[in-house]
Amino acid sequence: MMRMPSTAMEDVGPLLILAPSGRDAKTAAELLGRRDIDCRVMADFATLRTAVDSGTGAVLVAAEALARPALGALVEVLSAQPPWSDLPFIVLTRGGIAGRTAVAELGLPQVLGNAVFLERPLNALSLIGAVRSALRARLRQRQLRAHLLGREADAMAARASEAHWRGLFDRMHEGFALCKVLHDAKGRAVDYCLVEINPAFERLTGVPRAAAVGRTAQEVWPGMAPPWLDVCAGVVESGQPARHLDGTARPGHWFELHVYRPEPGHFAVLVLDVTERRQTEERQILLTQEVDHRAKNVLAVVQAALRLTPKDDPGAYAQAIEGRVAALARAHTLLAEEHWTGADLRALLRHELAAFINGAPVGPHVALEGQDLMLPPTKAQPLAMALHELTTNAAKYGALSLPGGQLVVHWHLEAGHRLRLRWAECGGPPVAGPPLRSGFGSRVLAGTVRGQLRGDVALDWQPSGLVCDMDVPLTGPLGADC
């Protein structure tokens, strides 16, 4: 994982942490400290209020610590910030509707302004990303302030520092633009002129410098209202910095804008491309919904296993249930390791057949033959259940029950989206033919492949051993019982 340079961390100031209940403060401080982030845990709100100053990098605070009257006191601190300062907050909230309701009732987005809200339980990657983003924005605030102050220096000092600031301006990863607001005869803001932009602004917006500097926003973006005009004109009028999220300046991109008034009639805007963050947030929402959906499916499968497994032998009953639940758990673990983007089919088979692949030298021989294939998350758990039933049958009655048995699992993709998998056994006990009645394992196998996966399964009870062919679509909807 990439780390911010230590010099940047020293420049940006400490992260103040206030989470008076539980272990959130200690956990966050330890986690962030390992990433070379200067963290200082505050004992209570009074300590936090005293510690906040222009040298603070950001504040990580639990929402419950901001209840009134503490919130009113914090408003006084924020209102005393210098014009360039927009102190970033990362607020830890309770999950679900209750947490969002509490945030809304306190009006925290409006009161804090520059705030990101993270729901508990904390996700390490989300926390680290949010803190680094906040500290990076804080660092850029100070760099921008220093740059604008440099413009007011005398001519000799300006000439001496021009090369330094121009280099910083050109090397910034964030886009920067200095603009002048244009008014109509009645004094209403109707457009703005781009006075200066940096290379990052060109790259992020797709607007070349030659087509932007000295032109109005209506000329740069013809056919659309000047982007950000209302927000930026408000900053010029009030002198108060603002933060704005915009998805109109360039199709398919989202920008976070930090707007300041460097001088009367002008505004400076720092542009950060947050498209990836926006997409990540959307994926997290979808992922949460998917995890909830899959969890309900797992419970439904477990209920079916409990209901249909024969109960006349308590020991066998417990063993069967334990095996089927373990198969689902193994698939769940693989999905979690890949952040629920999918599960590797070979890894799924190796986990299920681990006792025979990693066992003693003398024993059944297992061969896995196929291309690297990532199963969609909606297909992984049902397929894991099907493979578990085949493994259980082979271990009890088939090729995996004898030392000389052999199992070959071969798979490939057809037409780019259909999984063809063959499970072929030989060397086990002789097979007289299909069983006289269909057991629970066979019903689970058929129900899973046909009902859940909308595929097809064929069992061929050859004298040398069972051959099972599966045809599973990897795209499209699941069955009704999924």
User: What's the per-residue H, E or C state across 248-263?
Assistant: CCCCCCCEEEEEECCC
From CA 236, how far away is CA 269, in angstroms rounded? Answer: 11
Lowest-pLDDT range of 234-243, 350-359, 374-383: 350-359
Question: How many Å apart are CA 389 and CA 366, to the nearest integer?
Answer: 16
- The pair of three-digit structure tokens given for residue 411, joined into one six-digit string: 């798979």
pLDDT recorded at residue 480: 43
> What rounded mean pLDDT belongs to the chain?
82
Please give the Cα distance from 282 to 49 (Å, whole number): 34
pLDDT for the residue numbered 478: 56
One-letter amino acid of 363: G
Kindly report the three-state secondary structure assignment for every residue of 51-103.
HCCCCCCEEEEEHHHHCCCHHHHHHHHHHCCCCCCCCCEEEEECCHHHHHHHH
Residue 16, pLDDT above cutoff 90: yes
264 against 476, higher pLDDT = 264
Residue 7 pLDDT > 50: no
Determine the pLDDT at residue 350. Answer: 92
Task: For residue 389, count CB atoms less than 10 angstroms from its CB and return exposed for 0-12, middle for 13-18, buried for 19 or more.
Answer: buried
How far is Cα 482 from Cα 479, in angstroms, rounded to an integer? 5
Name every residue whose Cβ is closer than 8 Å to that of residue 372 and which is 6 or more positions away in sequence.
344, 346
Give pLDDT tens digits for 279-312. 777 777 776 776 676 667 667 666 655 665 566 6
Q: CA 309 to CA 240: how far, in whole Å?
A: 68
Q: Which two tokens stand for residue 47?
A: 């300590």
Beta bridge partners of 194: 179
Residue 1 has pLDDT above 50, yes or no: no
pLDDT band (50, 70, 90) for residue 177: confident
Cα–Cα dist 360/349, whole Å: 18
Q: Give dist(CA 104, CA 95) in Å, integer.
A: 13
The 3-state DSSP class for residue 445 equals helix
Indicate the pLDDT class of residue 468, thresholds 50, 70 and 90: very high
